Structure formats: C-alpha cells, structure tokens
Amino acid sequence: MSTSNYPVDMTSKPEVKAFFDPATNTISYVVKDPATNACAVVDSVMDIDYAAGRITYDHADEIIAYIQEKDLKLEWLIETHVHADHLSAAPYIQQKLGGKLGIGEKITVVQETFGKVFNEGTEFQRDGSQFDKLFKDGDTYQIGELTAFVIYTPGHTPACMVHVMGDAAFVGDTLFMPDGGSARADFPGGDAAMLYDSIQKLLALPDAMRLFMCHDYGPNGRDIQWETTVGDEKEHNIHVGGGKSKSEFVKFRTERDAVLDMPKLIIPSLQVNMRAGQLPPSEDNGKTFLKVPVNGL
Ligand SMILES: [Fe+2]
C-alpha cells in the first residue's frame, strides 16, 4: 500500500505519555484518545535480573498506576514487533486492566524461526494465537473514537509494524532519533534493503507527523530523547536523511551489523516475547525455566 492510501488524520492529536526504562533503554507509551478516556499501551517492559533469573514488574506497575490514576480505559496493548532486547509485560498489564493484545501477522514467521532455535515442542503454537489480534498492512482499529492504523515495516524483523494514532506514529525499531539512525537488520528474517523501503514509507507521511521511538541510547552523551517528526528525520537522520540512497544505506547497515554484539537480553526476550509476553510453561516441579541454546543463535 502506498502511503497516500493510509487513512492519515493529522487533526486528531492524542495525548502521549512516555515511560523510559533505563535498564533496556526502551520507551513505553500510554496513548489517550483526545475525545474519550480510552487509551492504548505501546511496547511495555517486564523487568528481569537475568543473572539472578528474577522477574519483577516495577515498570509495568508504573504504567498501570498512571492509567488508574487518570481513570483511563485500556483498550489495546500493542507490540510493534518481537523485541530482542527487553521482555514484554503486556499479559501482566492485560490481566490487571483488560484490553486486546495485538502484533503484526508475520509473528508466525518469528515463531517458526525461534520455535526451532529453542527446540519448542508441539504445544508451542506457531500460529500467533497467543495474541488477540494479528495486524496486516493498512488495518485500522479504534481507541475510543480515535482510528488507528498500521503500516507494515519489515527489515529489522519480519513482523515489524508502525502504529499510527492521529498525528502520532509509534515507529518501533524502524527508526531511531535522527542522531541515532536506524536499528540493525541482521536478526533472522531481517533485511537492510527491506528496512530502507520501510523507512521510506514512514518518511512519506506528513512532515508534521510526530514520531515516537521505541529506543534511545543518548548518542554522543546527549540526554535521552524519544520524540521527533517525519520532517526532522527526513532532513537529519544520519543513516537515511538528506536523500541517502538505498545502496549507500544497505552497504553501511550491513557493515555496521557485522560488528555488533548480540543484545544482552536476546535469549530470554525471544522466548518470552514470541509467546506474547508469557513465560514458558512450568516444568514437573512447578518451576519455570528459560533455556540458553548453546551456539544456537
Ligand atoms: Fe527490536
């Protein structure tokens, strides 16, 4: 679908509240419909002390407290993609506040790939049925009276989706802030050329569209930031701005990805996030375990 076919509505300006998680440099969002008290949560984080195998929910509890304090009604929990650097807290929040959990329909590709990597048994469904909604390009959904839509943006992973809610787009790992560039494209199913094309779809949105990042690492010592605009990215993004060509981007991205270490939390993140944020089923002693595939990634 070309960008002009999406139902863009810049007149609707949702209230966006950001929650920064310093442990994983992730930003989670609560997005409120301007006309009602309906809201959505985008990319929540479950806390893990991986060395200790300990899971807690301080970050999610902060989001829950905010929603309760403002008396909002949670209608959607959105995952922009299967994150490899933090664990989702979506089921924990859903259990407390309700709402539907959605991700891109290509989650099935991710489940197939990592179901094999972690040697999951047949009880691990690879059909995305752990989620309430699987989005495809151009799908719309309601947050109160606000109509949101999705843009399919593969490249970083095969299931990446950008969610546009009024004049605000939640870009996942498609783009970083202009001085951060773009996310890696070397995970299984990732592709630098596809990422370039996906970014072009975003840059074709109106210049004034607000863009909200999923991550920021404060490059060159600057403070953490998470909000920019299409116009700003188009002009200043260090990887794609100023009209950089696809071949320049692919060359740069491929060379850069070759020297990046794996994200610290990739192993627990994938096992949990491919299950929509659920932990693997408990074993016969009633305990839950996360696996480490030796030389498997
Ligand atoms: Fe990611």
Q: Spell out the domains of the chain, with CATH numbers in brackets.
A: 15-273 (3.60.15.10)
What are the tens digits of pLDDT across the range 167-210?
999 999 999 999 999 999 999 899 999 999 999 999 999 999 99
Token pair recorded at residue 248: 């320049």
Ligand 1 centroid to 284 CA: how many Å?
Answer: 33
pLDDT at 5: 86
Ligand 1 centroid to 286 CA: how many Å?
Answer: 31
What angle is formed at CA 230 by the lines to CA 106 and CA 110, rounded to 5 degrees?
Answer: 15
Ligand 1 centroid to 99 CA: how many Å?
Answer: 23
Ligand 1 centroid to 37 CA: how many Å?
Answer: 29
Ligand 1 centroid to 214 CA: how many Å?
Answer: 8
Q: Between helices 266-273 and 107-117, what is the axis angle to 10°?
A: 120
Residues, Cβ < 5 Å to ion ligand 1: 83, 173
What are the tens digits of pLDDT across the range 199-258?
999 999 999 999 999 999 999 999 999 999 999 999 999 999 998 999 999 999 999 999
Alpha carbons 83 and 78: distance in angstroms, whole number: 12
Q: What is the DSSP string of 167-234?
A: TEEE-TTS---TTT------STT--HHHHHHHHHHHHTS-TT-EEE-SB---GGGPPP--EEEHHHHH
Ligand 1 centroid to 192 CA: how many Å?
Answer: 14
What are the tens digits of pLDDT across the range 83-134?
999 999 999 999 999 999 999 999 999 999 999 999 999 899 999 999 999 9
Nearest to 20 by CA among 50, 58, 51: 58
What angle is formed at CA 277 by the lines to CA 275 and CA 281, rounded to 5 degrees?
Answer: 60
* Residues 6+ positions from 101 with CB-CB distance below 8 Å: 76, 77, 79, 90, 91, 94, 131, 132, 133, 276, 277
